[in-house]
Amino acid sequence: MFFVFTLAFMGMASRLFVLQIVEGPEYAKLAVAQRDRVIEFPARRGAILDRVGEPLAISVDLHTVWTDPQHVSDPAGEAARLAPVLDLDARELEQKLACDCRFQYLARQVGPKVAQRVKNLDLPGIYMEAEPKRYYPGRRLASHVLGFVDIDGRGLEGIEAQYEAILDGTPGSMTLEQDPAGRPLPQAEFEYERPRPGRSLLLTIDKELQYFTQATLAEATQTFSADAGTAIVMRPQTGEILALANVPDFDPNNPGGFSEIDRRNRAVTDVYEPGSAYKIVATSGALQEKVVTPRTQFVVPDSYAYSDRVFHDSHPHPTEKMTVAEIIHESSNIGTIQIGLELGGKELDGYVRRFGFGSKTGLDFPGESPGIVLDRSDWSGPTIATIPIGQGIAVTPLQMAAAYSTIANEGTWVEPKLLAATMTGGGRLEPSPPPATRRVVSRSTAKKVTEILTGVTEKGTGIEAQIPGYAVAGKTGTAQKPLETGGYGNSYTGSFAGFAPANRPAIVVIVVLDEPSPIWGGSTAAPTFKTITQFALRHLGVAPTGNAERAAREIQAEQAGDAQTYD
């Protein structure tokens, strides 16, 4: 018997050793998982500010009402008193107050007046916890840039989603103890850890310029009966986006009240065929490769057959000799095709990609499109003729803005950026990394293209973009929209892209209008470009390029004429 009992105790000791020493940590984790219940409270989200610190998105403290039903003595009575204050159904509220649990949400993010009324009731088992709610003081201002969050403060679109890890912070938590069956342990204590706030973001957006750009774009879409519109203002030397607007827009304080179409950031997610505004690519390439000069002449008819296509200029004209500069001034499709043929397919494809088309800009904005560019191996017979005139290729407005910034920045492409810096809780700024750059064409080539584009606004199709006192370089675009079944219909996109002052560019602006009336970019997008650019130059304190007194007289005369017309 002694031997038997010795073996039994040795077996039990061995088993205890395995359970407590070898497998002890695993069982301890299992016990904690069964016993502990962790409830998270969101952290205060970092603010989003414009370039000078004006708030675009902030978090305000509201209150969340919750209950510990184990402390509720009269569920029916408390529900009857609390339901009208929280605007809830008394029966459903009573069920929450009577549940066999230790935590139940009753109402999320209630206002100060409601919170005070709840506090005045002084009901046992009813508690309140401060909870931040995202608020956008500008309402629709920069809504497509900012995006929005869900009720728990998680970013769903825009900057809010892109920089979620920076803005979010570390949530707080409350730990409750319960038995394996889920029943609360009455004598257990709460463990509470306060949330730590996230970092704030300083954007490149200029709040005043953003507001004016949005208002002008909204007025333009209404004036020209356009279905939608996009406008971008950016600095060519740094890639900083000062304003980015889309119509239609939405209020991020109530995103559920708007459709996905309203919330779509067309400037980076939507593609379109750019038409004549794209002619700078083939022209820049041909000038860089020295196959043409601005004074090189071509014999230009009003129609031209190439491969299986017949191309036409925008209006009939007799066959005439035109220089490269005149071809761009008059936006001749036939002349531009001839320039592209001189450049050649391989080189044309190379410049398309060097200008950034066919790949994302590096902004890393949620949903950004790389555009649609055919691989060289997929080109068909007429492709070399369609690409120079902006057909058979799809781009985003942001890609086009970056391409024009390349010319404005003396031939160097700069990665667009929206984030200027992050801000710690102590107010210390950490600048964002410098943007990527690459040389696309030489300074000499960029200067020649700038001179050509300046002629577009002085005597070509972009006269409506002229700004008194400032030399403007830019190009119009009027493009047929392709049909889903192939070919082109009777719908058009009108655009104008350019920069000012032409000799020392301070800003690049692009305006794209979807199905405007009239269809011509020179008649719709160009005057909208003028209004935005003129305000931006004054707002940024950019000095006129010509005689200051003469510029002032021109501006006064223009304003007087506008006032008289308005009266």
Name the catalytic one among 59, 200, 276, 523.
276
**Is residue 276 annotated as a catalytic residue, yes or no?**
yes
For 54, 154, 188, 198, the CA distances from 41, given in Å and listed in that order, are 28, 12, 20, 14
H/E stretch holding 295: none
For 171, 278, 364, 512, the CA distances from 275, given in Å and listed in that order, are 50, 6, 26, 11
Contacts of 380 (CB under 8 A, 6+ apart): 307
User: What's the N-to-C CA distance of the chain in angstroms?
Assistant: 118
Residue 225 is which amino acid?
A: S
Token pair belonging to 565: 């017309």
Please count the CA atoms within 13 angstroms of the CA of 12 that sit on its side-chain side. 5
CA angle 399, 403, 408 (to 5 degrees): 140
Contacts of 45 (CB under 8 A, 6+ apart): 59, 132, 134, 149, 153, 167, 168, 169, 197, 198
CB count in 10 Å sphere of residue 340: 24
Rg (CA), the chain: 32
Q: How far apart are CA 206 and CA 187, in angstroms?
A: 56
Residue 542 is which amino acid?
A: V
List alpha helices for 174-278, DSSP H. Answer: 207-223, 260-263, 266-269
CB count in 10 Å sphere of residue 48: 26
Q: How far apart are CA 357 and CA 278, in angstroms?
A: 11
CB count in 10 Å sphere of residue 464: 19
For 51, 394, 496, the CA distances from 369, given in Å and listed in that order, are 26, 10, 21
Does residue 544 have a cis bond before it (omega within 30 degrees)?
A: no
Q: How far apart are CA 318 and CA 311, in angstroms?
A: 15
Q: Find out whether 471 and 512 touch, Cβ atoms under 8 Å.
A: no
Q: Find out whether 366 and 162 touch, Cβ atoms under 8 Å.
A: yes
Active site residues: 276
